[in-house]
Structure 1
Amino acid sequence: MKTILLIPARHASTRYPGKPLAELRQKDGSVKSLIRMTWEAAQQVRGIDAIHVATDDARIRDAAEGFGASVLMTSPEAANGTERCAEALAQVEADLIVNLQGDAPLTPPWFVEALIDRMARDPDAAVATPVLRCDRRTYDMFIEDRKAGRVGGTTAVFDRNLHGLYFSKEVIPWIDPAKVPDPVPVFHHVGVYAYRPDALRAYARWPEGELERREGLEQLRFLENGARVACVEVEARGRVFWELNNPADVPRIEAVLREG
């Protein structure tokens, strides 16, 4: 099974323009761009035959090629990372496509490897994506963002067979603040996907759904069209996971890097 990993990256982010080129200070004091950190994270994943940055922006292309990445140019019309991956698919051949979004440099390799394994074992799954049970620190960051009016990470709910029921930028399910249990029954959706080629091509043909538009979450288009999204529960193994969604996330991620 030929598996390629794509890193979709755009410069014109609504919440954080130029985000892929945002610089983060490393533990040793050096500085690396977000897109470079994500590319380096991708290098650690086993079972990948090729890695490409998919972008529509010459600045991101030049930066990526500068640190040795292969780049596929896509159109500026792509509405989200999944559409950009669907465009890039026309330029490559693959049996499985992994989307490691360019704002997730803290993604451990075993998160991605778990998706590849799930897709190999579940031929009915069109898409697979990781979910991570929140520890109290991560849950508190979710609540802090919502209180501050920031749209931060995404949460997921799924059925007993780990098929996705819904994804939201709200913290779901709701928990009484005075009775937060341990472990916290909230799952952080990790913004990584594995797609079968037919599912990715179908996604590009479907119009934007109402829930997708309201939440701003690309994966809801699959659910709105009846495609099965397999949620794969992963473990942090002591690592802290968080995406760079807003400028406020830069110090959070840099703090994690200092601790690492």
Structure 2
Amino acid sequence: MKIAIGIPARMGSTRFPGKPLAQLAGRPMIEHVIEKAQAADLGPVFVATDDRRIADAARATGAMVCMTSPDHASGSDRLAEAVREIDCDVVINVQGDEPLIDPAAIRAVVEPFTADPYLPMATLAHPLRNPDDLFDANVVKLITNAKGRAMYFSRAAIPFPRSGSPNAMQHVGLYAYRREFLLIYPTLSPCEAEQTEQLEQLRVLHHGYDIAVTVGDFHCIGVDTPADLARAEKLLAGS
């Protein structure tokens, strides 16, 4: 099974413009993400971007670069364009704002593909560590079925604690796709739940495709704001 790791990156973040090139421990954040992806040692690493400045920073690390359209609505759409040029069976989507992602998590997200040759997509989750996060809209929760497939993702409290304390799970925003499915993804029409929750993976469930969920003790801290960047800086300094 040929695996490629793609990192979609853009400069136009609403909450943190230019964050891929924000300085973290003296280097652009995108460099840290690329190094984590390379450390997973699964296959070639490429950056999909529409910005020459990001492309230059990526090439300095030895990563491949695929220049894409500036009009993509999501990282999955951007990777779908880029993967047309990549020879692989499975594509891992490592978000460009995950400089502290554990390479072990990157390796874990592809494991379900070895057991199911028809699986279209996979992701990760971990048990909710902070009970208050159940009601935090910035923390995405999910429910799986008996086969370990996602039933729903939500910013709301799921399952709702009507009786007792639920064993809630928190989604980790790391995805893997079979290449054929990733090429189909942009052709799927958006659904109401996706647009309401602002969660692109709900489009996949809406159209009847499976998402396998691997649950483990994963620690991934995304950088969405300058405050998150400062937190990541402290964590790197203490590691």
TM-score normalized with structure 1 length = 0.83
Partner of 1:129: 123
* Cα pair 2:134 2:158 within 8 Å, conserved: no
Asked if 1:156 corresponds to 2:150, the answer is: no
Q: Where do residues 24-103 of structure 1 align in structure 2 (5 Å cutoff)? A: 24-25=24-25, 31-46=26-41, 48-103=42-97
- Return the alpha-carbon distance in structure 2 between the equivalents of residues 67 and 124 of structure 1: 34
- Return the alpha-carbon distance in structure 2 between the equivalents of residues 169 and 20 of structure 1: 25
- Return the alpha-carbon distance in structure 1 between the equivalents of residues 149 and 208 of structure 2: 11
TM-score normalized with structure 2 length = 0.90
Alpha-carbon spacing, 1:231–1:213, altered in 2? closer, same or farther (3 Å) = same
Partner of 1:259: 238
Partner of 1:11: 11
- Return the alpha-carbon distance in structure 1 between the equivalents of residues 210 and 236 of structure 2: 35
* Consecutive unaligned residues in structure 1, runs of 5 or more: 26-30
Query: CA offset at residue 70 of structure 1?
Result: 1.5
Partner of 2:105: 111
- Secondary structure of the residue aligned to 1:227 is coil
Query: CA offset at residue 229 of structure 1?
Result: 0.5
- Return the alpha-carbon distance in structure 1 between the equivalents of residues 30 and 161 of structure 2: 35
- Return the alpha-carbon distance in structure 2 between the equivalents of residues 247 and 221 of structure 1: 30
- Return the alpha-carbon distance in structure 2 between the equivalents of residues 49 and 104 of structure 1: 19
Query: CA offset at residue 174 of structure 1?
Result: 4.0
Asked if 1:229 corresponds to 2:223, the answer is: no
Among residues 205, 213, 216, which one is paired with 2:198 in the alignment? 216
* Cα pair 2:92 2:177 within 8 Å, conserved: yes
- Secondary structure of the residue aligned to 1:75 is coil
Q: Cα deviation per residue 1:22-71 (whole Å; 9 max; x = unaligned)?
A: 2223xxxxx2222111101101113x221101101112112212333221
- Secondary structure of the residue aligned to 1:37 is helix
* Consecutive unaligned residues in structure 2, runs of 5 or more: none
* Cα pair 1:104 1:242 within 8 Å, conserved: yes
Aligned partner of 1:113: which letter? R
